[in-house]
Amino acid sequence: MSPEPVIIGGGGLSGLAAALTLAHAGREVVVYERGVACGSQRHGDAEGLETWIFAQRPMAYLQAHNLPTSFDSRPVATFQYIDEVGQVHSTTAQQPFFHLVRRGAESGCIDREFQVAAEAVGVTFRFQTVRRPHQVHIFAGGPRRACAYVQGMTFRTSAPDGVTLLLGRSYAPQGYAYCITWNGRGTVAAAYTKQPSGTDRVFLRAVDHFRDVLGFHMEDTVSFGFFGAYAPVPTLTDSGALLVGEAAGFQDALFGFGMNFALRSGVLAARAIIDGKDYRRLCRAQLMGPLASCWVNRRLFENLREPVRSRLAARIVGQGRAWEVLHRVSQPTVSKRLMAWWSGRRRTK
Ligand X SMILES: Cc1cc2nc3c(=O)[nH]c(=O)nc-3n(C[C@H](O)[C@H](O)[C@H](O)COP(=O)(O)OP(=O)(O)OC[C@H]3O[C@@H](n4cnc5c(N)ncnc54)[C@H](O)[C@@H]3O)c2cc1C
| Residue 332 binds to ligand X (criterion: CB under 6 A) | no
For the bound state, the minimum distance from the C-beta of residue 138 to ligand X, rounded and expressed in Å, comes to 11
Between 152 and 186, CB nearer to ligand X = 152
- Concatenate the DSSP letters of all residues of 220-279 into one string: EEEEEEEEE---SS---EETTEEE-GGGGT-S-TTT---HHHHHHHHHHHHHHHHHT--H
What is the dihedral sign for C-alpha 55, 104, 115, 262? Answer: positive
| Residue 141 binds to ligand X (criterion: CB under 6 A) | yes
What's the longest Cα–Cα distance across the chain? Answer: 68
Rounded-to-integer distance, Cα 118 and Cα 115, Å = 5
Read off φ and ψ for residue 183, nearest 5 degrees.
Answer: 55, 45
Q: Taking a C-beta distance cutoff of 8 angstroms, is the pair 31, 8 a contact?
A: yes
Contacting ligand X within 16-55 (CB under 6 A):
32-35, 41, 45, 47-49
Residue 306: count of CB within 10 angstroms of its CB: 14
Between 76 and 214, CB nearer to ligand X = 76
Among 7, 140, 272, 317, binds ligand X (CB under 6 A): 140
Residues in Cβ contact with 341 at an 8 Å cutoff, skipping those fewer than 6 apart: 232, 233, 292
Radius of gyration of the chain (CA): 20
Rounded-to-integer distance, Cα 293 and Cα 280, Å = 18
Contacting ligand X within 224-283 (CB under 6 A):
226, 228, 245-247, 251, 256-260, 262
Between 189 and 296, CB nearer to ligand X = 189
- Binding-residue total with ligand X (CB under 6 A): 36
Between 35 and 162, CB nearer to ligand X = 35
Choices 13-21, 74-82, 271-279, 292-300 (CB under 6 A): range interacting with ligand X: 13-21
Among 20, 22, 109, 150, binds ligand X (CB under 6 A): 150
User: Site mask, ligand X, residues 178-197, x = CB under 6 A?
Assistant: -----------x--------
| Residue 152 binds to ligand X (criterion: CB under 6 A) | yes
| Residue 113 binds to ligand X (criterion: CB under 6 A) | no
Nearest to 326 by CA among 314, 316, 318: 316
* Contacting residues toward ligand X, per CB under 6 A: 9-15, 32-35, 41, 45, 47-49, 130-131, 140-142, 150, 152, 189, 226, 228, 245-247, 251, 256-260, 262
